[in-house]
Chain A
């Protein structure tokens, strides 16, 4: 089964600083990959997804992610974070013939003034 690993449980970033959240996947072929965001007290919302083609994917809220096959990574980036970006971020990959979505354990992002 495919899986994703998010090595950082919690990250703190100053407002206006750049952000990179790590996601590593375990699968030989090119996977489909997703990033979701969960704001406090809310359900999850899709930020962006990668299926194939251009390895740099643009998403909502100014986020982007880059697929790197050589590193088995799909890291999420934002050049300048805002206080409203404080949330939990989940990387995800399909499984079992694409009938199921498997999530990573999440990275909680705290923004400090």
Chain B
């Protein structure tokens, strides 16, 4: 099993550009989520999904879109990048659909994004 994979590992964007961060898991997990990590702020939840076709907002959803058409994939879209979105982005998955907070979360290696 590859676990949770994320692409790209690094990305530099200009303000206003759009892009999609890819996340895939091969563990047949129902729950997937996106976090951003900023110094001194820990990890903050952006969006999450409890199963294919179901998504919901986390703490900091503004400026990001998600969709979940398959169990395996959960892409994160930046519609118009801003310098405030410079961060490290982590995708995570866990087995339970409705009890994500009590299952072990499996994290990808992260994407380091810089917006100029």
Contact = CB atoms under 8 A, between A and B. Distances in A.
B107 A90 contact: no
A43 B101 contact: no
Interface size class of B (residues with CB under 8 A): 20 to 34
Interface residues of A, number: 26
Contact of B99 (A9, A42, A49, A98): A98
Contact of B48 (A44, A97, A100): A100
Interface string A77-111: 00000000000001001111111111111100000
Contacts of B56: 99
A50 B73 CA distance: 30
Contact of B90 (A44, A51, A104): A44
Contacts of A44: 43, 90, 92, 105, 107
A112 interface: no
B104 to A, nearest CB: 5
A93 B101 CA distance: 7
A95 B107 contact: no
A99 B104 contact: no
B40 interface: yes
25 contacts: A9-B40, A32-B102, A42-B110, A43-B107, A43-B108, A44-B43, A44-B105, A46-B105, A49-B104, A51-B102, A97-B101, A98-B102, A99-B56, A99-B99, A99-B100, A100-B33, A100-B45, A100-B48, A100-B100, A101-B45, A101-B100, A101-B105, A103-B42, A104-B42, A106-B42
